[in-house]
Structure 1
Amino acid sequence: MQAGDEIYTSYGIGGKEHSYVKKVDSIQIAELKIENAFIDFMSFPYEHINGLLGLDILMEGKFKIDLNTLELRLQ
Protein backbone atom coordinates (compact mmCIF):
# COMPACT_ATOMS: atom_id res chain seq x y z
CA MET A 1 0.00 0.00 0.00
CA GLN A 2 1.20 3.50 -0.79
CA ALA A 3 0.29 6.99 0.38
CA GLY A 4 -2.83 8.14 -1.41
CA ASP A 5 -4.27 4.65 -1.99
CA GLU A 6 -7.98 4.60 -1.26
CA ILE A 7 -9.16 2.01 1.24
CA TYR A 8 -12.42 0.20 0.48
CA THR A 9 -14.65 -1.61 2.98
CA SER A 10 -16.58 -4.74 1.99
CA TYR A 11 -19.21 -6.61 3.97
CA GLY A 12 -20.05 -10.28 3.56
CA ILE A 13 -20.55 -13.57 5.34
CA GLY A 14 -17.15 -13.28 7.03
CA GLY A 15 -17.89 -9.79 8.32
CA LYS A 16 -16.16 -6.55 7.37
CA GLU A 17 -12.94 -6.50 5.30
CA HIS A 18 -10.72 -3.65 4.11
CA SER A 19 -8.84 -3.57 0.82
CA TYR A 20 -7.17 -1.24 -1.66
CA VAL A 21 -7.10 -1.36 -5.46
CA LYS A 22 -4.05 -1.34 -7.73
CA LYS A 23 -3.80 -1.36 -11.51
CA VAL A 24 -1.49 -4.14 -12.71
CA ASP A 25 0.01 -4.53 -16.18
CA SER A 26 -1.66 -7.90 -16.69
CA ILE A 27 -2.94 -11.05 -15.04
CA GLN A 28 -2.98 -14.49 -16.60
CA ILE A 29 -5.23 -17.44 -15.78
CA ALA A 30 -4.53 -20.46 -17.99
CA GLU A 31 -4.62 -19.09 -21.57
CA LEU A 32 -6.59 -15.95 -20.63
CA LYS A 33 -4.50 -12.79 -20.28
CA ILE A 34 -6.17 -9.58 -19.12
CA GLU A 35 -4.24 -6.35 -19.67
CA ASN A 36 -4.39 -3.32 -17.35
CA ALA A 37 -6.44 -5.08 -14.69
CA PHE A 38 -7.57 -3.53 -11.43
CA ILE A 39 -6.97 -5.91 -8.51
CA ASP A 40 -8.18 -5.62 -4.91
CA PHE A 41 -5.48 -6.37 -2.34
CA MET A 42 -6.28 -7.31 1.24
CA SER A 43 -5.18 -9.45 4.14
CA PHE A 44 -6.89 -12.81 3.65
CA PRO A 45 -7.43 -14.72 6.91
CA TYR A 46 -7.93 -18.20 5.41
CA GLU A 47 -5.00 -20.63 5.16
CA HIS A 48 -6.49 -22.83 2.42
CA ILE A 49 -7.56 -19.94 0.15
CA ASN A 50 -4.98 -17.56 -1.32
CA GLY A 51 -7.24 -15.44 -3.53
CA LEU A 52 -10.65 -14.99 -5.10
CA LEU A 53 -11.71 -14.45 -8.69
CA GLY A 54 -14.47 -11.90 -9.10
CA LEU A 55 -17.44 -12.24 -11.38
CA ASP A 56 -15.91 -9.59 -13.67
CA ILE A 57 -12.94 -11.87 -14.38
CA LEU A 58 -15.05 -15.04 -14.63
CA MET A 59 -17.41 -13.38 -17.13
CA GLU A 60 -14.63 -11.85 -19.23
CA GLY A 61 -12.98 -15.25 -19.57
CA LYS A 62 -16.32 -16.99 -20.16
CA PHE A 63 -15.28 -19.54 -17.56
CA LYS A 64 -17.35 -22.63 -16.93
CA ILE A 65 -17.58 -23.74 -13.30
CA ASP A 66 -18.18 -27.46 -12.76
CA LEU A 67 -19.56 -27.80 -9.24
CA ASN A 68 -19.52 -31.62 -9.41
CA THR A 69 -15.75 -31.77 -9.91
CA LEU A 70 -14.91 -28.32 -8.45
CA GLU A 71 -13.08 -27.38 -11.66
CA LEU A 72 -12.85 -24.07 -13.46
CA ARG A 73 -12.48 -24.22 -17.25
CA LEU A 74 -12.13 -21.75 -20.08
CA GLN A 75 -14.75 -22.32 -22.76
Structure 2
Amino acid sequence: MKIEIVGGILMTSMTITHKGTTKTLDNMIIDTGSAHTWINLDAVEDDVDVAPEDGDQIVTAFGIGGRDIAIRKRIDRVDFGTFRASDFQVDFGRLDYGISGLIGLDLLMAGNFVLDLARLTLYQTEATTE
Protein backbone atom coordinates (compact mmCIF):
# COMPACT_ATOMS: atom_id res chain seq x y z
CA MET A 1 0.00 0.00 0.00
CA LYS A 2 1.32 3.41 -0.92
CA ILE A 3 1.86 5.91 1.85
CA GLU A 4 2.79 9.56 1.70
CA ILE A 5 4.68 12.02 3.84
CA VAL A 6 2.65 15.10 4.77
CA GLY A 7 4.42 17.68 6.90
CA GLY A 8 7.02 15.09 7.87
CA ILE A 9 4.38 12.58 9.01
CA LEU A 10 3.53 9.20 7.42
CA MET A 11 -0.10 9.20 6.23
CA THR A 12 -2.44 6.74 4.58
CA SER A 13 -6.13 5.72 4.52
CA MET A 14 -8.15 3.07 6.35
CA THR A 15 -11.76 1.91 6.07
CA ILE A 16 -14.00 0.90 8.97
CA THR A 17 -17.37 -0.81 8.98
CA HIS A 18 -19.68 -0.78 11.98
CA LYS A 19 -23.42 -1.49 12.29
CA GLY A 20 -23.84 -1.62 8.52
CA THR A 21 -22.08 1.68 7.78
CA THR A 22 -18.72 1.87 6.01
CA LYS A 23 -16.46 4.91 6.14
CA THR A 24 -13.06 5.49 4.55
CA LEU A 25 -10.79 7.64 6.66
CA ASP A 26 -8.07 9.61 4.92
CA ASN A 27 -5.35 11.44 6.83
CA MET A 28 -4.59 8.51 9.12
CA ILE A 29 -1.12 8.75 10.67
CA ILE A 30 0.98 5.58 10.70
CA ASP A 31 2.15 5.77 14.31
CA THR A 32 4.49 3.01 15.45
CA GLY A 33 4.69 4.80 18.80
CA SER A 34 0.98 4.32 19.47
CA ALA A 35 0.00 1.03 21.09
CA HIS A 36 -3.61 1.25 19.88
CA THR A 37 -5.37 2.47 16.76
CA TRP A 38 -7.22 5.68 17.56
CA ILE A 39 -9.96 7.26 15.44
CA ASN A 40 -10.95 10.89 15.77
CA LEU A 41 -14.63 11.14 16.71
CA ASP A 42 -14.91 14.27 14.56
CA ALA A 43 -14.07 12.14 11.49
CA VAL A 44 -16.84 9.56 12.04
CA GLU A 45 -19.57 10.72 14.41
CA ASP A 46 -21.88 12.07 11.68
CA ASP A 47 -21.65 8.82 9.67
CA VAL A 48 -20.89 5.86 11.95
CA ASP A 49 -22.70 4.99 15.19
CA VAL A 50 -19.92 4.77 17.76
CA ALA A 51 -21.99 5.80 20.76
CA PRO A 52 -20.89 4.16 24.04
CA GLU A 53 -22.45 0.75 24.72
CA ASP A 54 -22.22 -1.93 27.39
CA GLY A 55 -18.87 -3.65 27.08
CA ASP A 56 -17.00 -0.58 25.83
CA GLN A 57 -14.08 0.58 27.95
CA ILE A 58 -13.04 4.09 28.92
CA VAL A 59 -9.27 4.33 28.41
CA THR A 60 -6.65 6.98 29.02
CA ALA A 61 -3.88 7.55 26.49
CA PHE A 62 -0.69 9.47 27.16
CA GLY A 63 1.36 11.05 24.39
CA ILE A 64 3.04 14.17 23.11
CA GLY A 65 -0.20 16.14 23.42
CA GLY A 66 -0.66 15.09 27.05
CA ARG A 67 -3.43 12.90 28.41
CA ASP A 68 -6.57 12.00 26.44
CA ILE A 69 -9.67 9.95 27.21
CA ALA A 70 -11.20 7.58 24.64
CA ILE A 71 -13.80 4.86 24.30
CA ARG A 72 -12.32 1.48 23.32
CA LYS A 73 -14.94 -0.30 21.27
CA ARG A 74 -15.12 -3.43 19.13
CA ILE A 75 -16.13 -2.56 15.61
CA ASP A 76 -17.34 -4.94 12.95
CA ARG A 77 -14.43 -4.59 10.54
CA VAL A 78 -11.26 -2.70 9.70
CA ASP A 79 -9.89 -2.77 6.14
CA PHE A 80 -6.32 -1.59 5.79
CA GLY A 81 -4.80 -2.23 2.39
CA THR A 82 -5.39 -5.93 1.69
CA PHE A 83 -5.69 -6.70 5.41
CA ARG A 84 -9.14 -7.21 6.89
CA ALA A 85 -9.76 -7.60 10.62
CA SER A 86 -13.18 -8.49 12.00
CA ASP A 87 -14.33 -7.65 15.52
CA PHE A 88 -11.34 -5.33 16.03
CA GLN A 89 -10.89 -2.99 19.01
CA VAL A 90 -10.40 0.68 18.18
CA ASP A 91 -10.14 3.72 20.44
CA PHE A 92 -12.46 6.62 19.63
CA GLY A 93 -11.65 10.04 21.02
CA ARG A 94 -10.93 13.64 20.09
CA LEU A 95 -7.80 14.59 18.21
CA ASP A 96 -6.76 18.03 17.05
CA TYR A 97 -4.51 18.81 14.12
CA GLY A 98 -7.04 17.94 11.35
CA ILE A 99 -6.22 14.23 11.26
CA SER A 100 -8.63 11.30 11.16
CA GLY A 101 -6.65 9.16 13.55
CA LEU A 102 -3.63 7.03 14.32
CA ILE A 103 -2.88 3.57 12.96
CA GLY A 104 -1.21 1.95 15.94
CA LEU A 105 0.95 -1.07 16.59
CA ASP A 106 -2.10 -3.22 17.36
CA LEU A 107 -3.23 -3.05 13.72
CA LEU A 108 0.27 -3.02 12.21
CA MET A 109 1.28 -6.15 14.13
CA ALA A 110 -2.03 -7.95 13.57
CA GLY A 111 -1.43 -7.63 9.82
CA ASN A 112 2.31 -8.41 9.98
CA PHE A 113 3.07 -5.17 8.19
CA VAL A 114 6.49 -4.06 7.02
CA LEU A 115 7.17 -0.36 6.58
CA ASP A 116 9.50 0.28 3.63
CA LEU A 117 10.59 3.90 3.94
CA ALA A 118 12.84 3.78 0.86
CA ARG A 119 9.81 3.02 -1.34
CA LEU A 120 7.18 4.68 0.88
CA THR A 121 5.11 1.52 0.99
CA LEU A 122 3.54 -0.62 3.64
CA TYR A 123 3.04 -4.30 2.89
CA GLN A 124 2.18 -7.53 4.67
CA THR A 125 4.62 -10.35 5.16
CA GLU A 126 4.38 -13.82 6.62
CA ALA A 127 5.14 -13.92 10.33
CA THR A 128 8.37 -15.70 11.16
CA THR A 129 9.37 -17.46 14.31
CA GLU A 130 12.89 -18.09 15.49
For this structure pair, what is the TM-score category when the shorter chain's length is used for normalisation?
0.7 to 0.9
> Is the aligned partner of 1:61 residue 2:115?
no
Secondary structure of the equivalent of 1:44? Answer: coil
CA deviation map 1:21-60 (0-9, x unaligned): 111111111111101101100111111x311111121011
Alpha-carbon distance in structure 2 between the residues aligned to 1:6 and 1:20? 6
Task: State the TM-score, normalizing by the size of structure 1.
Answer: 0.79
Q: Which residue of 1 aligns with 2:66?
A: 15
Aligned partner of 1:40 in structure 2 is 91
Q: Secondary structure at the match of 2:103?
A: coil
Tell me whether 52-61 or 65-74 shows the greater mean CA deviation.
Answer: 65-74
Which of 79, 82, 85 is the aligned partner of 1:31? 82
Q: Which residue number corresponds to residue 71 of structure 1?
A: 121
> Unmatched 5+ residue regions in structure 1?
none
CA distance in structure 2 between the aligned counterparts of 1:70 and 1:15, rounded to whole angstroms: 29
The structure whose RCO (Cα within 8 Å, separation 6+) is larger is 2
CA separation of 1:36 and 1:17: change in aligned 2, threshold 3 A: same
| Equivalent-residue separation in structure 2 for 1:3 and 1:29 (angstroms) | 25
Q: Specify every segment of 5 or more residues in structure 2 that has no aligned partner in the other structure, as ranges.
A: 1-50, 126-130
Count the aligned residue pairs. Answer: 74
Closer, same or farther: CA 74–18 of 1 in aligned 2, 3 Å:
same
User: Percent identity at matched positions?
Assistant: 35
**Structure 2 Cα separation of the partners of residues 68 and 17 of structure 1:** 33
Structure 1 partner of 2:102: 52
TM-score, length-normalised on structure 2?
0.50
CA RMSD of aligned residues (A): 1.9
